[in-house]
Structure 1
Amino acid sequence: MKLPLADLIAFQRDQLGFFESRGNGASDPLVPLSMGAGPVYLVSDADLVKPILRAPEDTIDKGQLIYKLREIIGESSMVLSGEEHRTRRAAIHGQLAKGVSSSFVPEITAVIRQHAAMLAREGTFDAHQATAPLAVRIVSTILFGHGVLSAADETALITALHLAEDDLAAEIFKIIPDFPWVKARKKAKLSAAKNTMGFVVEKARSDAKRHSLISALDELDLSEKAMHEEILLLLLSGHHTSGSAAAWILYFLARHPDLARQIADEARQVSTPDGDVDASRLSRATTTMAFVKEVLRLYPSAYWLSRETKKPIEMGGRQLKAGTSLLISPWQMQRNPRYWPDPETFDINRIHSGAAYMPFGVGPRVCVGMSLALLELQLIALEIAASFEVELVSSEPAPPPKPVITIIPPPLQMRLHPRGAVTKRELHRAA
């Protein structure tokens, strides 16, 4: 007989392995989990994901597991539902869509080049410690304008986030409450982190430039508190998702030098004679985009998400009562041999679509920054491969990532070496 908390104990021991062991090979589309009070199921059938994530909010919506994130991000669009969620999302999406198609490319490439040059001068560096600040710098440029968030601001923001994220991740599936003194310590740490993040956000907002993303949020006439929480969400999500993925981009550029050379050649094809990426040609960089999508298949930043039934429903051959938690793991779905031949192998020739590919989620709550994230990661791959050869100093293969709110890459020691003495401008002249 299975113990009431057996799956919770296994989950806390190895979250990523837990999802794979329970989901891969499962014949039941909804796998029952013993994780404490209330019914919990792991969705193992990819064909159920869209119906769940596209269900009306009065049938299936965000549940208590997601709402625990309010401790950091407050009542931002991540936890909102209904018309308020749709209004905020539409404003952010519209502004991002305009920038992705035109103005963001030169802004992002300028940030990447400056950061890459700094890393090359440093010598050996840790990939994620290098790419997390890069991601914050890019998203702050989009939010506020170039140069508004200083290096000290970025460091303070990232440090404050790290102060709180481990404890917050542990709280999501906690059954036994902390001792009062432990709870007080965590509360004080979270309060200090939020105060630091709030100070940085307010400072950046006051210095924001016209026509930045902040102008779209200003038009929503949000309260000061709501505006603060929405900005904080965008900064933090940009830091985690793109920062983690960018670290893996460096890792696979180092492990696949022939592929890195193909991407470098593609960078030449989509650039002007001066070596600047031409936004109108980016659709031709198909190898680079396939490379990025395969990185996101193996290492989706969000390794699980949840929904909760609001009324009794029938799904997956089961009658589910109100309050049932449904867990969906992109990590497990995208490494499931049922959907991906030889799933642990890095292979850019896969078809990165279909029900089992969901690095940004699915449906009306798909990540609002998906297009920006793909653009950012594509440009990072193009710019780094064009100018540098990436050396992996750490041993291979990489150890598993660390799952917290998202999955954090392990220590990956890298070096950047200039790609010969030939510049991109000289390559154009030679062509």
Structure 2
Amino acid sequence: MHIPGPDPRPDGGAGAVAAAGGLHQYQLSLHAEYGPVVRFQLPGAETAVSVADPELLEATAHLDERPQKLFEFLSPLCEAGNLQVLPADEHAPWRRLLLSVLAGRPSHERHFAEFAALTQELADRWAERGCQEPVALQKDLTALSLRMICAYALGGAAPEPDAVVAAFEEILTAYLGRLYEVPPPDPGEEPPERAQEALRFLRATVDDVIAAHRSDGRTDRSDLIGALVEAGESPARIRDTVMVTLLAAHHTTGVAVSWTLHLLGRHPEAAERVAAELDDVLGDRAAPDFADLRRLPYLDMVLKESLRLYPPGPYGARETTEAMKLGDYEIPAGATVFYPFWAVHLNPAYWPDPERFDPERFTPEATAERPRLAHIPYGIGPRSCEGAALATVEAQLVLAVLLKRFRFRPVPGHEVRPIERFVLWAEDDIRMTPLLRPLS
């Protein structure tokens, strides 16, 4: 069967993506017009197919190659080969190594108290301001996430967290923006000097982190650098891995928590229910223990609904190595298959009134009625996010600490508009006022 989609354009589709404000917005409009499977143009992809039906996605879950062109904007962060597009045979052992550090529940529990202390430091800083002025949630929470990943996976403190976050944003703005320029930039054209300077700063920062780690004399697998050293990875691959880990980890948790607080600010009845659950489980304690997370089901439902409405990564992509069937459609070899997380999460066939915030969608009974891949904030298959389990623990903890202590009120007149970066960002941050809750 012919896959529906827009007519070809002479610019290869770049203009349509740019006009929509980014690829994730473009995919939303395509699926609204053409249905759950859409063929469209994209620079560098001879055949691009976006799939927003979770049952059809099951047929693609085994795919283990990423399209080179689409992830080219991350190449400047890597010197030993873009880690996002490593061939499957090279990617699999690298992924296993990352999972050995990032996915283990014992290690999450071991670092939990440190995570709680870092979160309480941020809450203290907000409280010291007297709750009289708004805070920039994404700025402060991505810096907190960066401190967490450095403490957890890299064996040390985060050097200049705000500067590191700002440098990543400078690089992503420059390189991601070049991906859909019309006309495309000359391959030999240098990016803006500010982006080059940001990249030099990040590389020097990561070198300092690695050097400080080595000065401790540790070469065990207790953290990511130790695991990479023990595995015999080259210095360049170690630096690349640290760089990409910093990028992915600080965005994921900080952005997810920011959007969750934004939604709770707009739905105070849900915020009050979370607060009541926290008071019931924690009593007069300021932070949960690791075991308490399992006793906070409504908080977990709120987080999942936030990740549905504002998935940190708005899309994933794979490349077919051979022709395949996708329902009634034939997908040729060499095609780029998109996982448009936002469109999947807003598919009305599985999410009635999809733009409405409703944590009750994630009761065990409601979840059991939906296909497995209806909710995919961290991707699917062998290229899904290695840090998903860690990000979930961090987000639940940060939300518990902050919502036990504060009510968050939107700033009047401040527009929160999602835009495409490496993640689903807010154009002018998410500004809210934290108000101290009365002691329980």
TM-score, length of structure 1 as denominator length: 0.87
Shift of 1:311: 3.0
- Tell me the number of residue pairs that the alignment of Structure 1 and Structure 2 aligns: 412
Q: Which runs of 5+ in 2 are unaligned?
A: 1-6
CA distance 1:61–1:144, shift in 2 (3 Å): closer
Structure 1 segments of 4+ aligned residues over 6 angstroms from their partners: none
Partners of 1:270 and 1:285 within 8 A in 2: yes
- Cα deviations by residue, 1:108-128 (Å, 9 ceiling, x for unpaired): 111111012212334322221
Partners of 1:119 and 1:416 within 8 A in 2: yes
In 1, the alpha carbon distance for the partners of 2:416 and 2:406 equals: 24
In 2, the alpha carbon distance for the partners of 1:410 and 1:36 equals: 25
Shift of 1:220: 1.6
Partners of 1:111 and 1:138 within 8 A in 2: yes
Residue 197 (structure 1) aligned to one of 181, 202, 205: 202
In 2, the alpha carbon distance for the partners of 1:216 and 1:265 equals: 42
- Cα deviations by residue, 1:197-240 (Å, 9 ceiling, x for unpaired): 11111212233376444322322221000000001111110122
Mapping for residues 12-411 of structure 1, pairs under 5 Å: 12-14=18-20, 15=22, 16-24=24-32, 26-27=34-35, 29-36=36-43, 38-55=46-63, 57=64, 61-74=66-79, 75=81, 77-96=83-102, 97-99=104-106, 101-122=108-129, 123-145=133-155, 148-150=157-159, 153-174=160-181, 176-178=183-185, 183-186=189-192, 188-208=193-213, 211-271=222-282, 275-351=286-362, 354-395=372-413, 398-411=415-428
Q: Which residue of 2 aligns with 1:418?
A: 436
> One-letter code of the match for 1:258?
E
Question: 2:385 aligns to what SS in structure 1?
Answer: coil
CA distance 1:338–1:366, shift in 2 (3 Å): same
Question: 2:409 aligns to what SS in structure 1?
Answer: strand
CA distance 1:22–1:185, shift in 2 (3 Å): closer
Segment drifting more, 90-99 vs 104-113: 90-99
CA distance 1:213–1:136, shift in 2 (3 Å): same
> One-letter code of the match for 1:350?
R
Partners of 2:52 and 2:347 within 8 A in 1: no
> One-letter code of the match for 1:205?
I
CA distance 1:165–1:5, shift in 2 (3 Å): same
Q: Which runs of 5+ in 1 are unaligned?
A: none
Partners of 1:24 and 1:338 within 8 A in 2: no
Segment drifting more, 206-215 vs 134-143: 206-215
Aligned sequence identity (%):
24
- Cα deviations by residue, 1:142-164 (Å, 9 ceiling, x for unpaired): 12345x224xx212212221221
CA distance 1:2–1:225, shift in 2 (3 Å): closer
In 1, the alpha carbon distance for the partners of 2:278 and 2:264 equals: 14
Alignment root-mean-square deviation, CA? 2.6
> One-letter code of the match for 2:422?
I
Partners of 1:100 and 1:375 within 8 A in 2: no
CA distance 1:244–1:394, shift in 2 (3 Å): farther
Question: 1:34 aligns to what SS in structure 2?
Answer: strand
In 2, the alpha carbon distance for the partners of 1:36 and 1:363 equals: 25
In 1, the alpha carbon distance for the partners of 2:73 and 2:321 equals: 18
In 1, the alpha carbon distance for the partners of 2:190 and 2:304 equals: 42
Question: 2:312 aligns to what SS in structure 1?
Answer: coil
Question: 2:357 aligns to what SS in structure 1?
Answer: coil
In 1, the alpha carbon distance for the partners of 2:405 and 2:107 equals: 23
> One-letter code of the match for 1:363?
G
> One-letter code of the match for 2:151?
T
Question: 1:377 aligns to what SS in structure 2?
Answer: helix
Shift of 1:419: 0.8
